[in-house]
Amino acid sequence: MSDVTLTLRNLSTGFKMGGRVMNVVREVDLEVRKGEMLGLIGESGSGKTVTGMSILRLLPENAVTEADTLDFLGIDLLKLSTEQFREMRGTRLAMVFQDPVGAFNPAKKISWHLKQVFERAGTKSPAHAERAKNWRASAIKLLADVGIPHGANVMRQYPHQLSGGMLQRTLIALVLVFEPELIVADEPTTNLDNIVERQILRLFRDLQKRLDCAFLYVTHDMTIAAVLCDRIAVMYAGSIVEIGPTKQIFADPKHPYTQGLLASALALDTKTERLQEIPGELPSPGKLPPGCLFEPRCKFAKPECRAKEPAMVDVGGERHVRCVLYGHG
């Protein structure tokens, strides 16, 4: 399909621990399409950040990433050298981080950050070179685009002098200098308070309409995914357990884990007395259960669930589920 921006096939990432590799992301298949926002959902520690960082090759040296396919607009990302990959970063593949305060160089002013990115952009094309020459004006315009009207003031500040919301907008502006074709946003509103979070979410929705790029939006919050994402991929213990269009998943969640996530999100929404948490905990990467990874916490578990890990099953309507309740694939 020509409208697919990113294709992952069988992506696994682990960390070297005392001689062996401990996988925390396993056999992930995903497609992110042009103009869509794909939500990657799962509880803390399920491997969402590692997945995003694997795509951009941002993990530390002790990480090992393997995949059958890592295709970005016809470019085989697996074949790129370190230097070739670096050229792609920022320009065509970008990332927005969870903690905006921690994502800025604390020793440098905001203007310094913008200047560096504009200057790097300037070497790429004549149009960019023009913007880089007038980087100050271009930066102010870009800041206005992400909802910072007084950009000149903001540029004079050091990161610690700005609020989290302001920094997150600035971080988004930095990413937008190049108009990348894929943006991975890693829980970009988790560290913000409610009102600011809503403003940033609105900004993301506007961006998605305006830019027509592919978004991989990582979050643990079902309600955010509901308002932002076209499709949702649910991740559990490093595996995708369900994927499909947002509306259908909300109307009829198939995987017991997705059902649990939705129930607890709804419980929060309607302020039900007791919070409907899913009982139990994520298995640790070193001690995965033999069959279905969710089996220890699943209320529908049957003996056959422990035999082997269920395969992804196509349940129609662009939906896929990894659970024996829906067949064996």
Partner 1 sequence: MGFLWYLTIRIGGALATIAAGSFLIFLIMHLAPGDPALAVLGESATTETIAAYRAEHGLDEPVLVQFVIWAKMVLQGDLGKSIALAGKFPISDLLVTRLPNTIFIGLYGLVIALVISLIAGTAAALRQGKLVDTVATGVAVLGISMPDFWFSYVLILFFALSLDWFPSYGFTPPGESLIGAFHSGFLPALAIAAPMAGVFARILRASLVETARREYVTAARSYGFAAPFVFIHYVFRNAIIPFVTVLGLQVRYLLGGVVIIERVFGIAGMGSLIVDGAFARDYPVVQACALTFLAIVLSVNLIVDIVCALLDPRRTR
Ligand X SMILES: Nc1ncnc2c1ncn2[C@@H]1O[C@H](COP(=O)(O)OP(=O)(O)OP(=O)(O)O)[C@@H](O)[C@H]1O
| 143 and 151 Cβ atoms separated by less than 8 Å | yes
Each residue 28-67 as x (binds ligand SF4 by CB under 6 A) or -, in order, gives ----------------------------------------
Q: Segment contacting ligand SF4 (CB under 6 A): 2-10, 19-27, 103-111, 293-301?
A: 293-301
CA distance 302 to 33: 36
**Under a CB-based contact definition with an 8 Å cutoff, are residues 242 and 42 in contact?**
no
**Two structure tokens written together for 23:** 């996988």
* Number of shown-chain residues binding partner 1 (CB under 8 A): 30
- 126-133 helix and 110-122 helix, angle to the nearest 10 degrees: 150
Contact between 298 and ligand SF4 (CB under 6 A)? yes
Q: Does 323 bind ligand SF4 (CB under 6 A)?
A: yes
Residues, the chain: 329
Using rule CB under 6 A, residue 253 touches ligand SF4: no
Binding-site member from 220, 319, 320, 322 for ligand X (CB under 6 A): 220
| Beta strands in 97-213, from DSSP E residues, in sequence order | 182-186
Q: Are 239 and 29 in contact (CB under 8 A)?
A: no
CA–CA distance from 12 to each of 21, 23, 38 (Å)? 11, 7, 19
Of the residues 8, 24, 38, 214, which one makes contact with ligand X according to CB under 6 A? 24
The binder of Mg ion chosen from 23, 49, 208, 246 (CB under 5 A): 49
Residue from 294, 312, 313, 320 that binds ligand SF4 (CB under 6 A)? 294
Residue 90 interacts, among Mg ion, ligand SF4, ligand X, none and using kind-specific CB cut-offs from 5 to 8 Å, with none
Task: For the CB of residue 105, give the shortest distance to partner 1 in the complex, in Å.
Answer: 5
Instruction: From 74, 57, 45, select the one nearest 11 (Cα to Cα).
Output: 57
- Residues 65-124 contacting partner 1, CB under 8 A: 86-91, 94-95, 97, 99, 102-109, 116-117, 120
Q: Applying CB under 6 A, does 312 fall inside the site for ligand X?
A: no
**SS3 at position 42:** coil
